[in-house]
Amino acid sequence: MRTSHARILSGSGSGRCLDLIQLNRLEQALREWAGSLRRPDLALPRRRVLLIFLLIRYTGARLSEVLGLDLKADLDFETQTVRFRKGARDVQLPQGVSAEIRNALESLPARNAGTGMLKLDPAHVRRKFYERAEAIGLPRALGAPEVIRRSRAVELMQGNVPLPVVQKILGHSTPSLAASYVKFSEEEMRRAETFFIDRENRRKTSARNAFFGKIKSLIKGDVQAWVEISAPGGYCISAVITNHSLERLGLKRGGLVAAEVKAPWVTIHRSAEDPASSADNVLAAAVERVVRGKVTSEIVTRIADGTEICAIVTQQSLEKLSLKPADRVWVAFNAFTVVLHAD
């Protein structure tokens, strides 16, 4: 049941990847290296290497895909997307990165800003990535483009991006998840990607747990409405909202919504079978980690599609549960605790 990040990549090698701090350090090292030369003719090759790194870092694309981009034709700065023609997919860039690439292109001579801008020798690009990794004390191998691509995938999953959406971004899919795509069109998967990338840009919500899906059913009562949401990973989330909220959000069957649940509202059950719980939402999960505090502790779990669900429990409850990584548990939360956001 435990989700392996290696499932999202084929030919992923050793499976090693950079954590967020290491990714940011490597990015900063490349920025400093690219900006250390004043002469434009000498600085341009370094800036090209930096652009290649940023595109791999924030799209999870393969090195060959990035080197084949025509920056004028394949980057849409209005929608902040990159078109990878070989994989026939569009990937959204974070707003700040899109603006940075756009500014970089505008500052270049016209002859350098198009098709040939990224056409560098792959061995040269790899060598520069390796050198920057070593310069900040990382093993040389962790500067490989494949490691950066893999690290982006893990970063997205740790940010609660559903596994099918991560696979779409990376241009990779598996037969075991084919059913997830049946109910979600290509456009709907793109909008799911947009939601999570926008959330990554903002990071302002206090709700730790986020889901995205399509409204499967609506039952309107006298005062409140029951909303059932089907997620790309194949599971469902139920929410109860007021009829006023239903009308204000304009929700209807088949529409796309985001759902958020605060960590204190999530309960953890340790049992082999589906627990006898009154909670409307009960999902099988595996423990990722436990962060102990003086008063409360954080239990981070992951469900089958890779979505991370976090719960906050008291120390007394934690001692009763006696959890460790990889333990199988059930996460539960009531429909009344689910907050919906219209797409």
- The verdict on 148 and 21 lying in the same domain is yes
Indicate whether 253 pLDDT > 70.
Answer: yes
- The verdict on 256 and 271 lying in the same domain is no
Distance CA 316, CA 331 (A): 18
Decide if 85 is inside a domain. yes
Decide if 245 is inside a domain. yes
Decide if 343 is inside a domain. no
- The verdict on 136 and 235 lying in the same domain is no
What pLDDT score was predicted for residue 216? 92
Return the CATH number at 96: 1.10.443.10
Indicate whether 254 pLDDT > 70.
Answer: yes
| Nearest of 93, 112, 81 to residue 54 by alpha carbon | 93
What pLDDT score was predicted for residue 201? 60
Banded pLDDT at 99 (limits 50, 70, 90): confident
Banded pLDDT at 268 (limits 50, 70, 90): very high
DSSP SS3 for 10: coil
- The verdict on 128 and 212 lying in the same domain is no
- pLDDT by residue (tens digit) across 134-163? 999 999 999 999 999 999 888 887 777 777
Tokens 């800003």 belong to residue: 113
Banded pLDDT at 176 (limits 50, 70, 90): very low
The percentage of the chain sitting over the pLDDT mark of 90, rounded to a whole number, equals 43
- The verdict on 94 and 223 lying in the same domain is no
Contact (Cβ atoms closer than 8 angstroms) between residue 312 and residue 263? yes
Q: What is the DSSP string of 75-92?
A: EETTTTEEEETTTTEEEE
- The verdict on 103 and 236 lying in the same domain is no
Contact (Cβ atoms closer than 8 angstroms) between residue 239 and residue 230? no
What pLDDT score was predicted for residue 107? 67
Instruction: Work out the average pLDDT over 189-216.
Output: 72
Which amino acid, 226? W
Following CA atoms 154, 156, 158, 160 in sequence, which dihedral angle do they give, to the nearest 10 degrees?
Answer: -140
Q: Which residue has the higher pLDDT, 210 or 123?
A: 123
Half-sphere exposure of 310 (CA within 13 A, CB side): 19
The residue out of 244, 261, 278 marking a domain boundary is 261
pTM: 0.61
Structure tokens at 204: 């302002």
DSSP SS3 for 275: coil
Burial class (CB in 10 A: 0-12, 13-18, 19+), 22: middle
Decide if 175 is inside a domain. no
Backbone CA torsion sign across 74, 190, 306, 11: negative
Instruction: Work out the average pLDDT over 233-257.
Output: 91
Burial class (CB in 10 A: 0-12, 13-18, 19+), 49: buried
DSSP SS3 for 164: helix
Range of the structural domain that residue 52 is part of: 5-158
Instruction: Work out the average pLDDT over 56-79.
Output: 90
Average pLDDT along the chain: 83
Contact (Cβ atoms closer than 8 angstroms) between residue 126 and residue 145? yes
Total domain count for the chain? Answer: 3
Decide if 127 is inside a domain. yes
What pLDDT score was predicted for residue 256? 85
DSSP bridge partners of 141: none
> Rg of the chain's alpha carbons, rounded to an integer?
22
Decide if 163 is inside a domain. no
Instruction: Work out the average pLDDT over 52-78.
Output: 90
- pLDDT by residue (tens digit) across 319-338? 999 999 999 999 999 999 99
Among 153-162, 164-173, 186-195, the range scoring the smallest mean pLDDT is 186-195
Contact (Cβ atoms closer than 8 angstroms) between residue 136 and residue 145? no
What pLDDT score was predicted for residue 343? 62
Return the CATH number at 280: 2.40.50.100
Contact (Cβ atoms closer than 8 angstroms) between residue 62 and residue 149? yes
The residue out of 238, 261, 284 marking a domain boundary is 261
State which of 92-96, 224-228, 321-325 shows the largest mean pLDDT: 224-228
- Residue 161 neighbours by CB under 8 Å, 6+ apart: 169, 193, 196
The residue out of 95, 127, 158 marking a domain boundary is 158
Decide if 282 is inside a domain. yes
State which of 171-180, 198-207, 266-275 shows the largest mean pLDDT: 266-275
